[in-house]
Amino acid sequence: MSDTTHDEPSRNVIDDRHPVADPGHEEHLPRPTDEDPKAARRAELQVTGLFAIVPLLAIIFVVCYFAVPSDWEVNFGPLHANALHVILGTTLGAAILLIGLGAVHWARTLMGDHEIVEERHGAASSDEAREEAVAQFNQGVEESQVGRRKLIGRSMLGAVGIVAVPAVVLLADLGEWPTPTRISETLERTIWEPKMSADGQTVEEYRYLVTDVTYTRIKASDMSIGELVNAQPENLAELHGVENHQEKAKASLIVVRMDPNKIKIPESRADWQVGGILAYSKICTHVGCPISLWEQQTHHLLCPCHQSTFDLADAGVVVFGPAARALPQLPIAMDDEGYLFATSDFTVPVGPSYFERNHYPEDEGK
Ligand code: FES
């Protein structure tokens, strides 16, 4: 190790071993304690003072350990604590802190502050060492007789290859093969879909929006401008266990009310909202985190996982972050009593993107 200071000439030679010129050190500026003996003396006393309090704290610690009853309590407003624990923690913590502060102050004011460079030898092995390694490897191959005894080599390759089969078989645990039919029944369908007649011609029951806290129906007139409500379909309560969780993961909503004059509504979704109340999927289109960080003034919804940001006043488009597509919107309407219900299922899949997914007409080609 060598001690190089700003006085030492820096190396400007560029060669194979030193492909980058040595930028050298910044100029060393002397500290007040380097030049003024009185300042150095003051720093010495400050460091000593910090260290000198430590024995005092240690004595208080030991005395209190034996003298303070273990059932004494102290109150800090609404907080209650065991007095002995507070005293022991405070004295020991303060002692360690003072040792640290003293050491730092000592290092910054009095210890030498010249930068030190440690020269290291090259990391690459020599040509001889590399040749030696190759020779040893070849000798190992020769001694294993794998070249001469081909039967062993082939049977070993067969044995190693066959152990991949159980791993492939375990892929069956991922579930059914995602055929187009299977996808349309699972990924592309949620329980917002209205209940239809047996012939699929008439709607028998629309799905009402309920809050995911009180499970009561949401009345449009109860929502004020700027308000956000986390919602789910009323019929979710009919499902239980894993099925309930799976459907909730796809059907969760955020419902927001905005000033109708400040919302941009695509032509194709003109009747999907009720007086500025819009319903969007709560599932981020990046990798599926639930979102509800709502910036009321900007109409932005932020995903806490990777900061994707969606503009709910502009059809849920992505304005920042890694998400690749807008938040799916659920078409909603209001019944005669003012309660909100879904007029259809989502028209595009919720959650993370995948290749075969549908698009909104206005997103075609994106
Ligand atoms: S899951 Fe929302 S930004 Fe990644």
User: Which H, E and C letters describe 236-273, residue by residue?
Assistant: HHHCCHHHHHHHHHHHCEEEEECCHHHCECCHHHCCCC
Ligand 1 atom nearest 287 alpha carbon? 1
Q: Cite the DSSP H helix spans in 68-146.
A: 83-109, 127-144
Pick the closest to residue 95 from 52, 137, 130, 132 (CA basis).
Answer: 52
286 close to ligand 1 (CB < 6 Angstrom)? yes
Let me know: does 205 contact 342? Beta carbons within 8 Å.
no
> How far is 75 from 81, CA to CA, in rounded Å?
6
Ligand 1 atom nearest 288 alpha carbon? 1
Quote the ligand 1 centre to 320 CA distance (angstroms): 11
pLDDT tens for residues 139-177? 998 888 888 888 888 998 999 999 889 888 888 888 888
> How far is 149 from 144, CA to CA, in rounded Å?
9
Is 90 exceeded by the pLDDT of residue 233? yes
pLDDT tens for residues 188-215? 899 999 999 888 888 889 999 999 989 9
pLDDT tens for residues 39-76? 999 999 999 999 999 999 999 999 999 999 988 888 88
pLDDT tens for residues 91-148? 999 999 999 999 999 999 999 888 777 777 778 888 999 999 999 999 998 888 888 8
Q: What pLDDT was estimated at residue 360?
A: 66
Q: To test ligand 1's pocket by mutation, which of 252, 281, 283, 284 has the most ligand atoms within 8 angstroms of CB?
A: 284
302 close to ligand 1 (CB < 6 Angstrom)? no
Q: What pLDDT was estimated at residue 1?
A: 41
CATH number for the region 184-363 comes to 2.102.10.10
264 alpha-carbon distance from chain centroid: 31
* Cα within 13 Å of Cα(82), Cβ side: 10
- Model confidence at 178, pLDDT cuts 50, 70, 90, reads confident
> How far is 23 from 5, CA to CA, in rounded Å?
13
Indicate the average pLDDT of the chain: 88
Residues 6 or more apart from 1 whose CB is under 8 A from it?
Answer: 116, 117, 118, 119
Ligand 1 atom nearest 307 alpha carbon? 3
The amino acid sitting at 24 is G
Quote the ligand 1 centre to 157 CA distance (angstroms): 43
CATH 2.102.10.10 residue spans of the chain = 184-363
> How far is 306 from 308, CA to CA, in rounded Å?
6
321 close to ligand 1 (CB < 6 Angstrom)? yes
